[in-house]
Structure 1
């Protein structure tokens, strides 16, 4: 029976640490989910407000299958718990990888991680408070009178979650630009020179990610243009800090 190699013990320790971090992350997510379950109906009612406020008086949502009215609030509760627990989950991931990073990498990773989480939350809030009311107002205003809007509860939830993900992910643009500059793939000067191409690409991405209406497309494309400029300024600020590390 052969003895364990010198590299097996550290590997086993890393696997045990990874399992512990995963269990802690899932435990935190489960606790948040259990705390939110009693408020499932209230959460869905709150999420439906941007659409219900645009419907005629007395009109509400429907469920096209018997279980739809039950599973839609539960699905929303799970995603809300995941949304709230993201900082805790990211902390567990950070605590696992941080010991293997250099001091400079830690100094750069922490602000980038915090900025990514904050921008994702800002994107979702922007979508809920500004984009959804404008989109539903546009869609309900220009519909023919012979068409009655009777939205399905599950389809509405999928639509809103897709909007949240699209805006939350799109608001990560400055972080992605800074990472590309830090990796040396592009420079701030190249980002400035490619501004015209980037704006065209932003409008194409907005057209793909948003519903087929001009309101949501503009409300995604215009903030992304400002975020592109913010990414250039953030990259310019970080470049002087990167140069000394490349010297011998």
Structure 2
């Protein structure tokens, strides 16, 4: 066994020590989340206004006064609580990820740690890219499309006016931000699977057409039912799938390629009389 394959901690840890270590990491993660929740709840109004800014801008462009309503006495309070939880998840994620890494790192070899390092960096970056795409690109187009169905009322015509509730709007934006962020983790997931030897890049290429259909199916489920929003998620998913194949090819274990070459040579030699 080479030095790179030797674990840093070569002494085995009893089960009770693993449980104690897990408890310590959970306490750190929970404490970080609680502190982050307190901070985010304090600024929950500002965070909500940030989330509602794309809708407010579209309303201003239409000459309307930006506003949202709530129809239950407790609705606004619980909406702010959920905003605090949503913000705390983002704010505390780095510390939670660090605690997870500290817990599992002693069980990995040095070469395995080096292999995982790029994925640890890529995961939050890709999630933020997906969330940014939803917020800065998809929301303005989607909200403008939905607000286009309003109609001015008159003496001989019934008006149609948007009266969006704060809780329903929060449900929609958080769902879309999380959906776009998680979907942008596709390259990380597929590359890890290929690196582990569970799937070959050749197999990913063979199921490419089914992956395209799955991308549009996922977009139809998680995105609002309009063509612009669905295409805004489906097209990046297709591009990410193609990028995943290229990235997975770079990290695919060499032994898989050797086995394919050996198999091809055997088939050729076997076919020669």
**Per-residue Cα deviation, 1:80-107 (whole angstroms, up to 9, x for no partner):** 1111211110110110011011222212
- 1:157 pairs with one of 160, 167, 170: 170
Matched, 1:43 2:33: no
Name segments (4+ residues, structure 1) moved above 4 Å.
Answer: 240-244
Counterpart check, 1:33 vs 2:40:
no
For the Cα contact (< 8 Å) 2:197–2:252, is it kept in 1?
no
State which structure, 1 or 2, has the greater radius of gyration over its C-alpha atoms. 2
Deviation at 1:242, TM superposition (A): 6.4
RMSD of aligned alpha carbons: 2.0
Alignment of 1:54-93 (within 5 A): 54-55=58-59, 56-93=63-100
Residue aligning to 1:137: 144
The residue number in structure 2 matching 1:5 is: none
Q: Are 1:20 and 2:24 an aligned pair?
A: yes
Q: 1:237 & 1:59 partners in 2: Cα distance?
A: 49
Corresponding residue to 1:211 among 206, 211, 224: 224
- SS in structure 1 opposite 2:42? helix
**Number of residue pairs aligned between Structure 1 and Structure 2:** 238
In structure 2, which of residues 191, 212, 215 is the aligned counterpart of residue 202 of structure 1? 215
Deviations 1:174-204 (A, max 9, x none): 1111122123232112222322221121111
Could you tell me how far apart the structure 2 residues matched to 1:95 and 1:185 are? Answer: 26
Q: Unpaired runs of 5+ in structure 2?
A: 1-12, 153-158, 260-273
Q: Deviations over 1:48-87 (max 9, x none)?
A: 1111222352241000111112221221122111112111
SS at 2:14 equivalent: helix
CA distance in structure 1 between the aligned counterparts of 2:91 and 2:127, rounded to whole angstroms: 12
After alignment, is 138-147 or 122-131 more displaced?
Answer: 138-147
* Alpha-carbon spacing, 1:144–1:214, altered in 2? closer, same or farther (3 Å): farther
* In structure 1, distance between residues paired with 2:31 and 2:20: 16
Partner secondary structure for residue 43 of structure 2: helix
1:11 is aligned to 15
Stretches of structure 1 lacking an aligned partner (at least 5 in a row): 1-8
Report the Cα distance in structure 2 between the residues aligned to 1:58 and 1:211, rounded to whole angstroms.
24
Counterpart-to-counterpart distance in 1, 2:255 and 2:44: 47
* TM-score, normalised via structure 2 length: 0.81
Task: Work out whether 1:222 is the aligned partner of 2:235.
Answer: yes
The TM-score with structure 1 as length reference comes to 0.89
- Show the 5 A alignment for 1:87-126: 87-126=94-133
Offset, 1:144: 4.5
- Contact conserved, 1:181 with 1:188, CA < 8 A, in 2? yes
- 1:192 aligns to 2:205 (yes or no): yes
